[in-house]
């Protein structure tokens, strides 16, 4: 009798707490996060832009423009609505100290200047505008996969309490690949354990809070084992899903754990194209998604103040 | 992997750990990934205690987000650009070495990477009066050469000695001592330096491929993991202490026969800027070199500049002084 009362009391307590948690989730779901579907129609397929809960993987070797594209998308998110932005708060998780704030600010200033040319000149000074935009961005540095996992747990509170937070960027989610692989010893399960937990947590975050996730992965595995030390076959079924995009490059084999492959909804492959006539390097992207058929291709230059698209199809 | 031990945070005692171990939870990650309600029902621990411990552990081990505006303010006041002393190289690097970033010099043997490192170190210690940490893995450091360079800059003995004292040399010959050296710098010397007086503004590693390339290849993962750890240490030092890091690397040829930096794809993501040094073609014994910008986030790639290793601080020759230089070279 005593025991049953005790259990009932515990159940009540936990049930109340469970309800309170759901209450916060419910509120942020009802209020809805800002949709990011038309964040950049040039690179995403028609009607296939990133909706709530989508996970986009930016894949490419070094120097192919992934980080530049991220800066472009971040400025689009944090700019105010008057400058054709989305006013969405962004959390940027930087795992390899790659984030260049000065470059982001020069892209932001370029965009703000160009959007303000035709309009009102009596605005706040450009510095104020930049600062108010930057207030919508938070940056976190992680230096190990354990710290990444714990930080994502910590950020869960931030997501549930801030409904204006619509985008989580992880640059890059593959930086701890080699260190984890060595620390895990012989067993693949141990090697992938941390990344699998991160992927499961990200899955829960995107389903419960409807945030969009962008993650970059470095292309470090060759498709054909010409370099015996470096390339190992990480599980053939994971790569079959993405074979519809013709793998032009040697380096686009997916190698992260299966838990991550399962939650990715859009995959964007970045490559360096030709050099155009006026001596500018052209970069190209090929985007595939599980919702649309076919591949959306696009090319761009990297200029002083951000990326400029060359042509859309 | 952070193992749960008693005393790791207040509230964790031996029974707590034993109760968790019965549920197969041994590390902090496992603990944080579990739902505290379910855990309270399975073990005999109170829900409140579990939530409190979880909160403290998260506060101890996570990284905290910084607002973009604050980060920008901090960077504006802390970032510095260190001139290399050579106007052509400065033009290529967009006025010099930026603190908080890793810059890489690649080139085949004899292309002048170590000489460029010396010249930059001498310029920083003499002209800019800042301390330089120089990690030498190839035994290429030669104090006489540094003295020679300083003697062309100033005849004053005291100034020369002062500048030489600002260049601190560390000799390491394998990757484990390199990691130990970097970790030691990070936890002791750099902190002391930034509190004390003279500030360290540059760290050079000549060369990083000498210690890493012997560990790569084959089936072991240890080499790649060590490579990423070295990269992580260098980046942390660059960012946390606002230091410009300059590393040198060898070159290999890719599938099309073009020169590319060594150490593979994984290392190629690490430096922010990369410069390729080559000898000028028709002059075998001259000291002329070309520098090509092969990776940069600030300038268009494939810019080429020519410079002379022997005349470091001089401007790129115009047609008039070009004739003068030709005359000089034709002398015996």
Q: Residue B146 belongs to a domain with what CATH number?
A: 3.40.50.300
Contact B265 A220 (CB under 8 A): yes
Tell me, yes or no, whether B68 lies in a domain. Answer: no
- Judgement on whether residues B208 and B243 belong to the same structural domain of the protein: yes
Considering only CB atoms, which chain B residues are within 8 Å of A158? 65
Contact A197 B33 (CB under 8 A): yes
Contact B69 A131 (CB under 8 A): yes
Mean model confidence pLDDT for chain A: 78
Given B62, B72, B301, which is nearest A147 (Cβ)? B62
- Judgement on whether residues B33 and B112 belong to the same structural domain of the protein: no
Contact A140 B63 (CB under 8 A): yes
pLDDT at B205 (0 to 100): 94
Count of CA atoms in the C-beta half-sphere (13 A) of B296: 24
* Minimum distance, in Å, between the CA of residue A263 and any CA atom of chain B: 18
Q: What is the C-alpha to C-alpha distance for residues B29 and B22, in angstroms, rounded to an integer?
A: 16
- Judgement on whether residues B89 and B172 belong to the same structural domain of the protein: yes
* Minimum distance, in Å, between the CA of residue A240 and any CA atom of chain B: 23
Q: Which of B27, B66, B221 to mutate to test the interface with A (most CBs of A within 10 A)?
A: B221
Higher-pLDDT residue of B41 and A252 is B41
Tell me, yes or no, whether B291 lies in a domain. Answer: yes
Q: Which of A154, A275, A303 to mutate to test the interface with B (most CBs of B within 10 A)?
A: A154
Tell me, yes or no, whether B7 lies in a domain. Answer: no
The mean per-residue pLDDT over the stretch A76-94 comes to 89
- Judgement on whether residues B189 and B258 belong to the same structural domain of the protein: yes
Determine contact, residues A286/A245, Cβ cutoff 8 Å. Answer: yes
- Judgement on whether residues B57 and B77 belong to the same structural domain of the protein: no
User: How confident is the model over B118-161, as pLDDT tens digits?
Assistant: 999 999 998 888 889 999 998 888 889 889 888 888 888 998 89
Going by their DSSP bridges, the two strands B81-82 and B97-98 should be labelled as antiparallel
What domains are there in chain A, each with its CATH number?
31-113+125-221+247-310 (3.40.50.300)
Give Cβ neighbours of residue B56 (< 8 Å, ≥ 6 apart): B9, B10, B11
Residue B148 is part of which domain span? 73-308
- Per-residue tokens: A111: 């965009």
CA A266 vs CA A55, A219, A223, A258, B165: distances in Å: 6, 16, 20, 15, 55
DSSP class of residue A1 equals -
- Judgement on whether residues B217 and B246 belong to the same structural domain of the protein: yes
Tell me, yes or no, whether B27 lies in a domain. Answer: yes
DSSP B116-159: HHHHHHHIIIIIS--EEEEEESSS---HHHHHHHHHHH---HHH
* Minimum distance, in Å, between the CA of residue A14 and any CA atom of chain B: 7
Residue A100 clears pLDDT 70, i.e. is over it = yes
- Judgement on whether residues B32 and B119 belong to the same structural domain of the protein: no
Task: Please give the ipTM for the structure prediction.
Answer: 0.81
What phi and psi, each to the nearest 5 degrees, are found at residue A302?
-105, 115
- Judgement on whether residues B43 and B77 belong to the same structural domain of the protein: no
Residue B169 clears pLDDT 70, i.e. is over it = yes
Residue B298 clears pLDDT 70, i.e. is over it = yes
Contact A96 B218 (CB under 8 A): no
A104 torsion bin: left (phi>0), alpha (psi -120 to 50), beta (else)? alpha
Angle between helices A66-78 and A126-134 (to 10 degrees): 100
Residue B29 clears pLDDT 50, i.e. is over it = yes
- Judgement on whether residues B44 and B116 belong to the same structural domain of the protein: no
Q: Which of A58, A101, A183, A234 to mutate to test the interface with B (most CBs of B within 10 A)?
A: A101
Contact B33 A179 (CB under 8 A): no
Tell me, yes or no, whether B258 lies in a domain. Answer: yes
Residue B23 clears pLDDT 90, i.e. is over it = no
Provide the Cα torsion A43, A44, A46, A47; round to 10°.
-150
Give Cβ neighbours of residue B94 (< 8 Å, ≥ 6 apart): B296, B298, B299
pLDDT at A232 (0 to 100): 38
Q: Which of B2, B8, B63 to mutate to test the interface with A (most CBs of A within 10 A)?
A: B63
- Judgement on whether residues B106 and B221 belong to the same structural domain of the protein: yes
- Secondary structure string (H, E, C) spanning A218-229: ECCCCCCCCCCC
| B-chain residue closest to A185, CA distance | B221
What is the CA angle B116-B121-B123, rounded to 5? 95
Give Cβ neighbours of residue B306 (< 8 Å, ≥ 6 apart): B88, B280, B288, B289, B290, B291, B316
Name the nearest CA neighbour of A64 among B282, B265, B309: B265
pLDDT at B170 (0 to 100): 92
Tell me, yes or no, whether B330 lies in a domain. Answer: no
Contact B29 A150 (CB under 8 A): yes
| B-chain residue closest to A175, CA distance | B228
Determine contact, residues A159/A211, Cβ cutoff 8 Å. Answer: yes
Q: What is the C-alpha to C-alpha distance for residues B103 and B116, in angstroms, rounded to an integer?
A: 13
| B-chain residue closest to A278, CA distance | B300
Contact A96 B41 (CB under 8 A): no
Contact A100 B272 (CB under 8 A): yes
Contact B235 A138 (CB under 8 A): no
Measured in residues, chain A has a length of 313
DSSP class of residue B3 equals B
Considering only CB atoms, which chain A residues are within 8 Å of B272? 100
Tell me, yes or no, whether B328 lies in a domain. Answer: no
Given A14, A61, A154, which is nearest B265 (Cβ)? A61
CA A65 vs CA A282, A305, B224, B289: distances in Å: 10, 14, 24, 29
pLDDT at B133 (0 to 100): 93
What is the reported pTM? 0.82
- Secondary structure string (H, E, C) spanning B33-72: HCCHHHHHHHCCCCHHHHHHHHHHHHHHHCCCCEEHHHHH
DSSP B183-196: HHIIIIIHHHHHHS
Considering only CB atoms, which chain A residues are within 8 Å of B69? 131, 134-135
User: How confident is the model over A169-224, as pLDDT tens digits?
Assistant: 998 888 888 888 888 888 888 888 888 999 999 999 988 888 899 999 988 776 65
- Judgement on whether residues B47 and B150 belong to the same structural domain of the protein: no
Going by their DSSP bridges, the two strands A212-218 and A165-171 should be labelled as parallel
Tell me, yes or no, whether B301 lies in a domain. Answer: yes
- Judgement on whether residues B101 and B212 belong to the same structural domain of the protein: yes
Tell me which of B61, B83, B99 is where a domain ends.
B61
Name the nearest CA neighbour of B89 among B309, B318, B326: B309
User: How confident is the model over B211-265, as pLDDT tens digits?
Assistant: 988 888 777 678 888 999 999 999 999 988 889 999 999 998 888 888 888 888 8
Which of helix, strand or coil describes residue A170?
A: strand
State the total domains in chain B.
Answer: 2
- How many pairs of residues across A and B have Cβ atoms under 8 Å apart? 153
DSSP H or E segment with residue B75: helix B68-78
């Amino acid at each position: 009798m005593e025991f049953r009362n005790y259990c009932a009391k515990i159940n009540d307590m936990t049930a109340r707490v469970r309800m309170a948690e759901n209450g916060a989730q419910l509120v942020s779901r009802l209020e809805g996060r800002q949709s990011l579907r038309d964040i950049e129609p040039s690179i995403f397929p028609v009607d296939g832009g990133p909706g709530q809960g989508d996970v986009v993987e930016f894949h490419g070797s070094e120097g192919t423009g992934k980080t530049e594209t991220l800066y472009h998308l971040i400025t689009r998110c944090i700019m105010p609505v008057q400058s054709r932005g989305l006013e969405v708060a962004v959390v940027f998780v930087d795992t390899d100290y790659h984030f260049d704030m000065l470059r982001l600010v020069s892209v932001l200033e370029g965009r703000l200047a160009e959007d303000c040319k035709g309009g009102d000149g009596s605005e706040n000074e450009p510095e104020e505008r930049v600062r108010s935009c930057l207030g919508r961005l938070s940056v976190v540095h992680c230096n190990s996969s354990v710290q990444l996992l714990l930080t994502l747990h910590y950020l869960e509170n931030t997501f549930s309490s801030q409904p204006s937070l619509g985008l989580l960027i992880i640059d890059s989610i593959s930086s701890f690949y080699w260190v984890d692989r060595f620390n895990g010893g012989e067993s693949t399960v141990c090697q992938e354990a941390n990344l699998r937990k991160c992927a499961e947590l990200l899955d829960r975050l995107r389903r419960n809070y409807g945030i969009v996730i962008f993650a970059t992965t470095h292309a470090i595995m060759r498709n054909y084992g010409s370099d015996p030390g470096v390339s190992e076959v990480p599980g053939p079924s994971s790569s079959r899903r993405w074979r519809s995009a013709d793998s032009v490059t040697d380096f686009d084999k997916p190698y992260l754990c299966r838990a991550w492959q399962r939650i990715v909804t859009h995959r964007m492959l970045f490559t360096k194209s030709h050099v155009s006539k006026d001596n500018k390097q052209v970069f190209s992207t090929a985007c595939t998604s599980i919702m649309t058929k076919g591949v959306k291709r696009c090319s761009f230059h990297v200029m002083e103040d951000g990326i400029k698209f060359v042509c859309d199809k | 992997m952070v193992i749960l031990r008693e005393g790791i945070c207040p509230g964790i005692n031996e029974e707590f750990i034993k109760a968790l171990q019965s549920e197969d939870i041994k590390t902090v990650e496992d603990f944080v990934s579990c739902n505290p309600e379910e855990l309270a029902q399975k073990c005999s621990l109170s829900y409140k205690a579990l939530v409190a411990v979880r909160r403290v552990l998260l506060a101890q081990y996570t990284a905290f987000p910084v607002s973009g505006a604050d980060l920008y303010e901090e960077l504006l006041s802390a970032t510095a650009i260190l001139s290399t002393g050579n106007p052509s190289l400065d033009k290529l690097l967009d006025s010099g070495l930026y603190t908080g970033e890793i810059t890489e010099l690649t080139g085949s043997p004899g292309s002048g990477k170590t000489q460029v490192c010396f010249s930059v170190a001498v310029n920083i210690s003499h002209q800019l009066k800042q301390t330089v940490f120089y990690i030498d893995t190839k035994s290429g450091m030669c104090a006489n050469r540094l003295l020679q360079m300083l003697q062309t800059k100033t005849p004053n003995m005291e100034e020369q000695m002062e500048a030489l004292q600002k260049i601190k040399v560390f000799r390491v010959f394998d990757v484990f001592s390199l990691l130990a050296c970097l970790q030691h710098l990070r936890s002791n010397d750099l902190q002391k330096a930034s509190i004390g007086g003279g500030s360290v503004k540059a760290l050079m590693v000549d060369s990083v491929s000498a210690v890493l390339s012997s560990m790569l290849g084959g089936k072991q993962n240890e080499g790649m993991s060590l490579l990423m750890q070295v990269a992580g240490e260098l980046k942390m030092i660059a960012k946390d202490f606002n230091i410009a890091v300059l590393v040198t690397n060898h070159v290999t040829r890719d599938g099309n026969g073009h020169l590319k930096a060594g150490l593979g794809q994984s290392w190629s993501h690490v430096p922010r800027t990369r410069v390729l040094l080559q000898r000028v073609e028709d002059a075998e014994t001259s000291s002329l070199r070309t520098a090509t910008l092969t990776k940069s986030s600030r300038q268009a790639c494939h810019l080429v500049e020519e410079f002379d290793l022997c005349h470091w601080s001089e401007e790129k020759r115009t047609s008039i002084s070009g004739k003068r230089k030709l005359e000089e070279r034709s002398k015996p």
